[in-house]
Amino acid sequence: MTLQFNVEGGDFARAGYASSQIKKILKEIGVDPDVIKHVVVALYEAEVNIVAHAYHGVITADIEKEGIRIVLDDAGPGIPDIPRAMERGYSTASPEVREMGFGAGMGLPNMKDNTDSLDIESVVGKGTKVTMYNKFE
Amino acid sequence: MADSCPYYRGLQILTDVCVGCSHCMRSCPTKALRVSGGKARLHLDWCIECSRCYQVCEHRAIKVMDDDFGNIFNYKYRILLVPMLFFSQFGDGIPQKTITDIIGDLGFTEVRAVEQGCDLVAEKLNEYIPDSTVRPVISTYCPSVIRLIQVRFPSLIMNLSPYIPPLEVTAQYVKRKYENAGIPSEEVGIFYVTPCVAKIASIKAPVGGYTTPVTGCINMDLLHDKVLLKYKRKDFKENGIKVSLEVSRNGMRWSTTRGEKHAMKKYINAMAIDGIGHVMEILEKTENDELDGVDFLELRACDESCSGGILVRGNRFQITADMHRKSESLPDKIPMLNEYRELCGDSMLLGKVEPRDVKRYGPDIDLAIKKMETVRKLRAELPGIDCGSCGAPSCEALAEDVVNGERTIENCIFMQLKYEKSGSLKVKNVVDIMEKIWGKKYDS
């Protein structure tokens, strides 16, 4: 089953929409609650990243028997130094974003902790593509 | 779906009274109700005994089950555990002493405030919460909330407090006190005056590995009316009923909203929420890990907590105000707290709480994904106005019922129009379909 969601940069009110929709579906098909929690936490972080940093993005989730693959493809500034962005506490978020309670530099590390695999490709000035996978068993 | 369910049924739909108006179906927070054959039908697995359906039923077609009052006389010692809000229902109109005399006249040998157990629960929670690795800890006070978590938020079962609620502590105290006095347990009947259906269910079918010492429930409205009647008719005598209504300030406030929150130490960040819709909202947030820095959640299914229970007579706001006023002059702890610690301190654990029927599309994930896809397709075809004419509470619920083989897509009035237009459905078929759902609500 494939689901798609659009995300707009700066729209914090809608950040979390895709994760709550996917949570609902995973609950209904009977996925282990613990797995769902990890998926939701990772996806929420990724969604907020698009809202906070990019102009717009598309989230595509593929749900299969074995697990869920989520691709977040955005048009935005890109990440110049991915290893650095993976460090806990490192953040490039603007003061406005931090004032809203986001931008603590825990996004990418948190995503890594909550997924079975996390892959980030980025082109500076064009955008970022994050692929995450969580197994159901 | 009716009788195959192992869960205790605290509410019953009286099919001879029900007119199938669907008000209950629209109010159910877990979408556990449908209309078919002109009657409301309850999906027992999904019912959390919140009693919203009872509150909105204009036809009094939903009945609260109760134990026969006469059962109390099967025991030589008849102990009544009373929530303090029972007394607040009468306002200042009837003195507490008169009420306990009437309770004695009704046949009880002892009356005890159920909130005596609160101080010990508060002690345990204040010790446990700061050390808990799982946050927020969720209170086990409201049984309807526990059931909601079992049915809709199974991932939060691990957040539930490991301790039994105060009612069970007080019941244990009574049981052990009589045991220690050498009285055989079969001579002791412990009865609880309940303000709601969820508490009845929690005693008839406790969650966790816990066995309750409570013998039976007395519905609060029934007892209120019995007391009021005897008072009005002056039909009672002073008697030797043993009375122990000592409660602490925290105990008196416990059953009201923010009661548990106030009993928590300052370093515990506690949040108190009442009303089933608000509770669901906060559980969603908790499940998404969006509640940063909250250590404890006090959650109550009823608006104004237990004062808003469906078996409570009188106005819930006045009752709460009365209890808050009374609480101000009360001590910090009950005088017999040490005895409570000795008799109950080592047996406060609730046991493991299991999830309830969360796999809506069966145990096979592959099949469930396929069903889910079909639901989404159907959902997109349906009008999305949630009119309820199909006998399900929403278009989404209809789509789910269709996939589970419990209903057909032709139950939707908009789909009927579409099929009539294309010629695949005749007016007669439509009439048959609608009568199957709603019964014959008109002549010929």
Position B172 pLDDT exceeds 90: yes
Residues of B with CB under 8 A from a CB of A: 154-155, 284, 287-290, 355, 358-363, 365-366, 368-369, 371-373, 376
Count of A-B CB contacts under 8 Å: 54
The residue behind tokens 């409201």 is B142
Class of the B11-64 domain? alpha beta
Out of B359, B363, B366, the one facing A65 most closely (by C-beta) is B366
Residue B288 and residue A40: Cβ atoms within 8 Å? Answer: yes
Residue A29 and residue B361: Cβ atoms within 8 Å? Answer: yes
Out of B155, B287, B365, the one facing A29 most closely (by C-beta) is B365
Residue A136 and residue B360: Cβ atoms within 8 Å? Answer: no
Interatomic CA distance for residues B114 and B96, integer angstroms? 15
Radius of gyration of chain A (CA): 14
Out of A19, A30, A33, the one facing B365 most closely (by C-beta) is A30
Give domain limits for chain B: 11-64, 69-344, 365-438
Position B3 pLDDT exceeds 50: no
Q: Which whole number is the average pLDDT over B284-298?
A: 90
Structure tokens belonging to residue B81: 């555990």
Strand-pairing partners, residue A35, are: none
Run of H or E residues at B274: strand B270-274
Q: What is the pLDDT of residue B442?
A: 67
Residue B369 and residue A1: Cβ atoms within 8 Å? Answer: yes
Which letter, b or e, does each residue of A71-82 get, where b requires 16 or more Cβ atoms within 10 Å of its Cβ?
bbbbebbbbeee
The residue behind tokens 């029934």 is B222
Position B33 pLDDT exceeds 90: yes
Q: What is the pLDDT of residue A105?
A: 67
Interatomic CA distance for residues B149 and A20, integer angstroms? 17
Residue of A nearest to B371 (CA): A29
Q: What residues contact residue B405 under an 8 Å CB cut-off, 6+ apart?
A: none
Mean pLDDT, chain B, integer: 93
CA distances for B327 relative to A37, A133, B249, B259, B312, angstroms: 41, 54, 5, 11, 20
Residue B287 and residue A65: Cβ atoms within 8 Å? Answer: no
Q: What is the pLDDT of residue B91?
A: 80
Q: What is the pLDDT of residue B90?
A: 93
Mean pLDDT, chain A, integer: 89
Q: Give the single-character DSSP code of B111.
A: E
Q: What is the DSSP string of B183-247?
A: --GGGEEEEEEESSHHHHHHHHS-STT------EEEEHHHHHHHHHHHHHTT-------EEE---
ipTM of predicted complex: 0.79
Position A115 pLDDT exceeds 90: yes
Which among A54, A2, A67, A116 has a CA at the least distance from the CA of B373?
Answer: A2
Which letter, b or e, does each residue of B294-308 get, where b requires 16 or more Cβ atoms within 10 Å of its Cβ?
bbbbbbbbbbbbbbb
Position A30 pLDDT exceeds 90: no
pLDDT band at B1 (very low <50, low <70, confident <90, very high): very low
pLDDT band at B389 (very low <50, low <70, confident <90, very high): very high
Q: What are the tens digits of pLDDT across the range B394-419? A: 999 999 999 999 999 999 999 999 99
Residue B293 contacts residue B148 (beta carbons within 8 Å): no
Residue of B nearest to A20 (CA): B288
Q: What are the tens digits of pLDDT across the range B55-113? A: 999 999 999 988 889 999 999 999 999 999 999 999 878 999 999 999 999 999 999 99
d(CA A126, nearest CA chain B) in Å? 31
Which among B176, B116, B168, B120 has a CA at the least distance from the CA of B143?
Answer: B168
Out of B289, B368, B373, the one facing A30 most closely (by C-beta) is B368
Position B10 pLDDT exceeds 90: no
Q: Which fold has domain A2-135?
A: Heat Shock Protein 90 (3.30.565)
Which among A4, A114, A128 has a CA at the least distance from the CA of A54?
Answer: A128
Residue A93 contacts residue A108 (beta carbons within 8 Å): no
Position B319 pLDDT exceeds 50: yes
Least reliable range by pLDDT among B56-70, B224-238, B306-320: B56-70
Residue B289 and residue A41: Cβ atoms within 8 Å? Answer: yes
Structure tokens belonging to residue B425: 């459905």
Residue A16 and residue B360: Cβ atoms within 8 Å? Answer: no
d(CA A134, nearest CA chain B) in Å? 15
Out of A19, A37, A65, the one facing B155 most closely (by C-beta) is A37
Q: What is the pLDDT of residue B39?
A: 95
Residue B289 and residue A25: Cβ atoms within 8 Å? Answer: no
Which chain A residues are within 8 Å of B290, Cβ to Cβ? 16, 44
Secondary structure of residue A31 in the 3-state scheme: coil
Structure tokens belonging to residue B207: 């969650």
Residue of B nearest to A39 (CA): B288
Residue B361 and residue A28: Cβ atoms within 8 Å? Answer: yes
Q: What residues contact residue B272 under an 8 Å CB cut-off, 6+ apart?
A: B257, B258, B259, B260, B261, B298, B300
Residue B35 contacts residue B22 (beta carbons within 8 Å): yes
For strands A117-123 and A67-75, give the pairing.
unpaired
Run of H or E residues at B374: helix B365-381
Q: What are the tens digits of pLDDT across the range B128-148? A: 999 999 999 999 999 999 999
Long-range Cβ pairs for the range B98-102 (8 Å, 24+): B98/B231, B99/B227, B99/B231, B100/B241, B100/B243, B100/B245, B101/B236, B101/B237, B101/B238, B101/B239, B101/B241, B102/B226, B102/B227, B102/B230, B102/B231, B102/B236
